[in-house]
Structures are given as structure tokens and as C-alpha cells.
Amino acid sequence: MSERSIQIVEVGPRDGLQSEPEILATEAKARYIELAIEAGIRRLEVASFVHPKRVPQMADAEALIELLPDRDDVSYIGLIMNERGLDRALATKIGEIGMVVVSTDTYNRKNQNVTTAESIAAWHAISGRAKDNGLKANVMISAAFGCPYEGEVSVERILELTEQVLESEPAELGIADSIGVAVPAQVTELLGRVRELTGNLPLRCHFHNTRNTGLANAQAAVEAGVTYLDASIGGIGGCPFAPAATGNIPTDDLAYMLERSGVQTGVSLEKIIDTSRWLEGELGRGVPALLPKAGMFPAGGQPAA
């Protein structure tokens, strides 16, 4: 059994809710985040600072952050796309910002209204400003395994982008399968090649379960030595600017897989299940995660040594 540990980054409050048709009240979002913290989550992507007309589910970013508990052991991440987003983030108590660079121009334009090169230039400016203001600055390369508009994305393209974003020394590098097309062999190959460029820099992976490969890809990422894995309680969410890009990997199912494999997460499975069931009540429907449906195994127990 492994003695490794992986930190789960909860992205349900941002990536999860941004594609759901329901718009939760700000107070309900704050409770969602509080429940995740009570379950043991210590890093959470809580909001994106984007135009409310493009993503109305995120219109209350500042008001939500104001409601969140101040805890030294919890880090709140705000997603930004440009310097206007950074300006908004700097006016809050957010501790981290995450910048997105999409691997293809077509998808980047739909997501951010600029080319990939323009987003990289923005990242260089944002990284410096964020650090000068005491924020942790991270960057994620999205659509790293495929684009819904341009098709396959080569490993060489991701390596090229990696070299460019590393120039501004991110605190961590993220690799995202934004539309859920990757398979484990691709994850193993790409992360191995990326690691040659990043050295000891922490790597974070973000997978979607659109084609039912998300958990397998997460396992491949664990074996490749990533530090962080994104997941969404209940498995809600997706990208509103990519056709049919549904389904973040569920925090519930990911934590179960890791714990049963001897990989420590610090997350209470029982409390995550309770949070998924609470979320179902707020959304008025079921969520994709399977653990809330099937329950723990052994029932109410912990993995065998």
C-alpha cells in the first residue's frame, strides 16, 4: 500500500456551479464551502472574476468571498482571465489567483476573447502584480489533451506553452483536460515530459469525466507524482464555453479511490457524502457522483490496512 498523500483542490464552488443551470444564493454558496472545509478540504477554488453576463453564476464573487471564514489553514483561490479580473481579486481577501491559458486559439478566444499568446502575455503581467501584492500566483494550461474546436493537441504544443508560462515562475503548474478526452496513457506521457521542464515545481491536474475516464486519469496522475488533484463535490460542473464538457471528477469518488489505495487526502468521506446530499437538496436534483448512491465500503468503515 502506498504511503503517499495527495491534496484535493475543491473546485465545485467555481467550476462546478458555473455550468449548472441553477444559480445558488450567495449564502448557500458560502455554506457549500463551509461544509467542504468541515470535511477536510483545505484549498478551494471559490469564484471566478469574470464578466457576469458571460458567467452569471459567478456574479457575486466579491460578496461570496466576504462571507467566507478567515482560517490560516484554508486557502481560497480565485480564477482570473485578465488584469481586470486581477483588479477585482486584489480588492478581496483572496489568497491565491489562478490564471488560465487555453492551448488553442479558437477555444481561448471563446473562453477569454483573446488568443493564446495574448493570454500568456497577460499571465506574465498578472503574475508579477499578484506577487507584488502578496498573492500566490498559479497558472493552468487548459485543453491540454484536446480541443472541441481544433481537435487533437500535441504534447509538443503543451511543452511549448509550459516553457512560456514558466518564465513568470508560477507557484504551481496546472494541466487540465477541460473536455474530458484524455486517457491514462496520454496523462502518463504528458506529465512525464512536463516534469522534465518543471523539476520540483508542484503539479496540479484537473480532469473531467465526460467520457468516463476521469478517475483513471487521476490515478495515472498520482502515479506520475502530481501534488494536487482538482475535483468537484458531487461531480457537478463543466465548461460553459465547450460543447458537452460536462462532469468534473467527483470529490466523493476520487477520495474513495485514493483512500482505498492508501493515498492520504485528509478528507472525511462521510462528510463529503453528506455535502453531496445537501447539494442535491439545493439544486433540486441528483448529482453524478456514485459514492453518495452506493455508500461506503465497508459500510461506515475505513480501508483495511
Residue positions annotated with a catalytic role: 239
Give the distance from CA 222 to its chain's centroid: 15
Q: How far apart are CA 87 and CA 80, in angstroms?
A: 10
User: Nearest CA to 219 among 252, 190, 185?
Assistant: 185
Instruction: Give the number of C-alpha atoms closer than 13 A to the C-alpha of residue 161, restricted to the C-beta side.
Output: 31
Output the nine-digit C-alpha cell for 194.
512536463
Grid cell 456551479 — which residue? Answer: 17
For helices 251-260 and 269-283, the axis angle rounded to 10 degrees is 170
Q: How many CB atoms lie within 10 A of CB 60?
A: 20
Q: Judge contact between 20 and 57, C-beta under 8 A.
A: yes
